Structure 1
Amino acid sequence: MRNLFDTYKQHYKALLLLGLPIVVGQLGVIVLGFADTLMIGHHSTEELGAASFVNNLFTLCIIFSTGFSYGLTPIVGGFYGNRRFAEAGQALRCSLVANVLVALLLTSVMTVLYFNVERLGQPEELLPLIKPYYLVLLASLVFVMLFNGFKQFTDGITDTKTAMWILLGGNALNIVGNYILINGKLGFPELGLLGAGISTLFSRIVMVVVFALIMFRSRRFIRYRIGFMRLGWSTPMFKKLNALGWPVGMQMGMETASFSLSVIMVGWLGTLALASHQIMLTISQFTFMMYYGMGAAVAVRVSNFKGREDGQNVRRSAYAGFHIVLCMEVVLLSIVFALRGQVGGWFTDNAEVSAMVASLFFPFLIYQFGDGLQINFANALRGISDVKPMIIIAFISYFMISLPVGYLCGFIFGWGLTGVWMAFPFGLTSAGLMLWLRFCKQTRNRA
């Protein structure tokens, strides 16, 4: 056991140094999600239900866009590992263009969905709340994509602290804006859910502006700016970014679809079920974002070693990351389990909603192992640029297993909201096992 620890010790240390700033940044996102849900939920249960529907649809877009931007991380990580800094800057330029184009595509798709939102079977009383909130979040998609481009670049060069501070500052700004605009403080009108959307849009714009100023003014990025400004356009680089980004985006998008499309089924169960679903999703983001932070560090470390053609440390970095994720699962689930009876009351005064939330803790707890497994090894595969098979794995796990199980348990077996949530343990664990097996196969002779 001692020898095993000594083997992985340097990897644990490096992953924690890289991953903890990302985790802290994600904690800011989690706090924002908590604050959003708390403020909206206490403003009205109907607005919480509307927020659940809209946020789940846009989460699908945002996770897909994050996955697409991940294509930059292994490319920059490889350049950084080989000290090819100018080419890393050139990759950032191509990535920003690609991200904007994808943002425009997503905006077009979501605009079509907006004009058909009445056909999705949601409660009639929520539509006047859904539509204006939807439009404001739609306007923010391009800023999400630009921020992702900058963030994945700085993560790839092992500078994870810059994005952390910008995320924390942006989220603090968003929370303050929520308080003012939702409740009508400091002379502003009481806008409720729409106010939360406006605050989100404003904070996303500010985060992009701040990131751009740091990138193009700070002395520590000079060697990357040379490549960004002087190397010009690279069509092969652009094609490579797309070749990596689309499979990762589709994999993450299908994973999120198992949650986001489930909200349509939850909507068939009514406003209270939607409100309960939103509260539990907020809790689930708490664990997901923490694992995601460490998974992002795994992708960076693996890509660095892949750039040096050091296969042994590629494997060791991935497994060290999984060891850390397992420890995180034990700690986080202990906290969540201890608070399970109180969580619903934090977000709403409605006793029925609180009871529904409590019923969702069983499926939530049992899917955590699968979630950590799939996040870790999906990132390890991204680090070695083996991304295309992840599309097939995601399709099988989330569309052929997860969504049908949710419908079967929720409506055929009559288990309601808890039944819909039973889909997630099956889908995430299946994905995790297949991604792990794929990583083992691709790195078998590199130990």
Structure 2
Amino acid sequence: MSKKQATKLTLFALTWPIFIEIMLHMLMGNADTLMLSQYNDNAVAAVGVSNQLMSVIIVMFGFVATGTTVLIAQYKGAGDDTHANRIAVVSIILNIIFGLLLSIALLVFGEQILLAMNLPIELMDQALIYLQIVGGFAFVQALIMTISAIIKSHGFTKDAMYVTLGMNVFNVIGNYILIFGAFGAPELGVTGVAISTAVSRGIGTLWMLFLLYKRVQGTLSWTFLKTSFPKQEVRDLLKIGIPSAGEHLAYNTSQVVITYFIASMGTVALTTRVYTLNIIMFAFLFAIAIGQGTQILVGYLIGERRHKEAYQRCLKSLWIGMSVSTFVASMFYVFGDTIFAIFTDNNEIIQLGSLLLLLTIILEPGRAFNLIVINSLRAAGDVRYPVYIGILSMWGVAVTLSYTAGIVFGLGLIGVWIAQIADEWLRGLLMLRRWRSKKWVNMAFVNHKTEEIDEGERKAN
């Protein structure tokens, strides 16, 4: 994609394929939950806890993918295709290495991790088999995330959407066959879901590799790796990725600790949370998609030194994301009982879940602040501030208040949701204040490259 083409990208053109892609990813998880709910509620809880751990692992892959997205967007905006392509090559290699190491760790230490989470004993066997199968192939997810980031940063957001659609189709078919033993296959329950998830991701990886070759490979060069170690590229990726990973890791580990608190409340509370999270994921889906699309646009604008347009782009995206997320959350509350009835006939779960959906109407606007503004700050090169504030708020507010309100004061899941609201709104307002301060204006990673290009153009003229 040329620089001229890149500047013509609109938020809608970038966001709608990302929206559908993320929705399909969520549907993939929801398909597992919905189909397992027809098997038994304990299976749902076991997979939910294992997926909480997998979300922490995915953060470790995400830090390279995040750095890839930001750097490629900035370099493309600055017209520096050479460095954009070097970043793509190095990011693929880095995430394959991280993926293999973390896959081995989950295979070896999976049981010890689940025991440390205070998992109810009746869930252990099912949670462990799921974690070992899906976690053992975690390196596949690392490769998918990296290639997807490269392709989307070049503007081909629809390609990633099509791959995710295909993965969903294979996953649902695999679930049906392996959970319930259709067409003469063995009835494997949770094991079947794990196998189906791993296989569908493997197919998605092969598809992504083909798209990489088709869309970007012609401009990628691997030969520079033979002459020298890519220190600058690795340094730049880690400079963005590690702080970004720190923020995501702080969030996900805080959620693991909160899950530990909820596990002590009993299986009903744990199951209710899993069902509720699967529902409200669609409420913040819009903010996630808008945040990712805005990150790419802001990255291009920063690379072109169009700071005023970048500033306005973030604020416009924020109000769109907040409005849509709040509306969707409200609709989920209105139809909450009907939606929960799809998953379970347990009245205790349905009633508690409906109260959580009411609180989610307040939660989602605060979450939109973080999903959109933090991505914009990151795209501009301001990667440390969100981490510092995130760690303080997630642990000082979300974790502390979840324990105090949920366990000490006996509010249970209601107390946990109140803590989440306080955390998201505090962080969100601080992020907006940071964006309005414009301290990010001189933090771009490619300013020096742009200066070199400008100098070269002056000499040529």
TM-score, structure 2 length as denominator? 0.89
Matching residue of 2:448: none
2:317 partner SS: helix
Q: 1:245 to 1:352 in 2, by over 3 A?
A: same
Q: 1:391 to 1:325 in 2, by over 3 A?
A: same
Q: CA deviation at 1:440?
A: 1.9
- Following superposition of structure 1 onto structure 2, how do residues 52-67 of structure 1 map, counting pairs within 5 Å? 52-67=48-63
In the TM superposition, what whole-angstrom CA distance separates every residue of 1:85-126 from its partner, at most 9, and x where no partner exists? 333222111101221233244335544353342343221111
Q: 1:423 to 1:101 in 2, by over 3 A?
A: farther
Matching residue of 2:452: none
Q: CA deviation at 1:230?
A: 5.5
TM-score, structure 1 length as denominator? 0.92
Matching residue of 1:185: 182
Matching residue of 2:154: 157
Q: 2:122 aligns with which of 96, 113, 125?
A: 125
Matching residue of 2:369: 373
Q: 1:329 to 1:143 in 2, by over 3 A?
A: same
Q: CA deviation at 1:336?
A: 1.2
Q: CA deviation at 1:445?
A: 7.3
Q: 1:297 aligns with which of 276, 293, 296?
A: 293
Q: Is the 8 A contact 1:311 1:443 kept in 2?
A: no
Counterparts of 1:417 and 1:66 in 2: how far apart (Å)?
29
Matching residue of 1:224: 219
Q: Is the 8 A contact 1:26 1:290 kept in 2?
A: no
In the TM superposition, what whole-angstrom CA distance separates every residue of 1:237-263 from its partner, at most 9, and x where no partner exists? 011101111111111222233333321
Q: 1:320 aligns with which of 312, 316, 319?
A: 316
Matching residue of 2:456: none
Q: 1:289 to 1:254 in 2, by over 3 A?
A: farther
Matching residue of 2:282: 286
Matching residue of 2:235: 239
Q: Structure 2 unaligned segments of length 5 or more: list them.
A: 1-6, 443-461
Matching residue of 1:139: 136
Q: CA deviation at 1:231?
A: 6.8
Give the fraction of aligned pairs with identical amino acids, expressed as a percent: 23
Q: 1:369 to 1:207 in 2, by over 3 A?
A: same
In the TM superposition, what whole-angstrom CA distance separates every residue of 1:158-199 from its partner, at most 9, and x where no partner exists? 221111111111122111111111111122111111111111
Counterparts of 2:173 and 2:255 in 1: how far apart (Å)?
28
Counterparts of 1:156 and 1:179 in 2: how far apart (Å)?
35
2:38 partner SS: helix
Q: 1:442 to 1:107 in 2, by over 3 A?
A: farther
2:182 partner SS: coil
Q: CA deviation at 1:282?
A: 0.5
Higher relative contact order (CA 8 A, sep 6+): 1
Q: Is the 8 A contact 2:381 2:440 kept in 1?
A: no
Counterparts of 1:102 and 1:289 in 2: how far apart (Å)?
27
2:305 partner SS: coil
Aligned length: 434
Q: Structure 1 unaligned segments of length 5 or more: list them.
A: 1-10
Amino acid at match of 1:141: A
Counterparts of 1:206 and 1:151 in 2: how far apart (Å)?
14
Q: 2:192 aligns with which of 188, 191, 195?
A: 195
Counterparts of 2:101 and 2:241 in 1: how far apart (Å)?
14
**2:411 is the counterpart of 1:415:** yes
Counterparts of 1:94 and 1:37 in 2: how far apart (Å)?
36
Amino acid at match of 1:184: G
Q: CA deviation at 1:437?
A: 1.7
Counterparts of 2:64 and 2:395 in 1: how far apart (Å)?
20
Q: CA deviation at 1:13?
A: 7.9
Q: CA deviation at 1:289?
A: 2.9
Q: 2:423 aligns with which of 423, 427, 431?
A: 427
Matching residue of 1:169: 166
**2:388 is the counterpart of 1:395:** no
Counterparts of 2:435 and 2:204 in 1: how far apart (Å)?
35
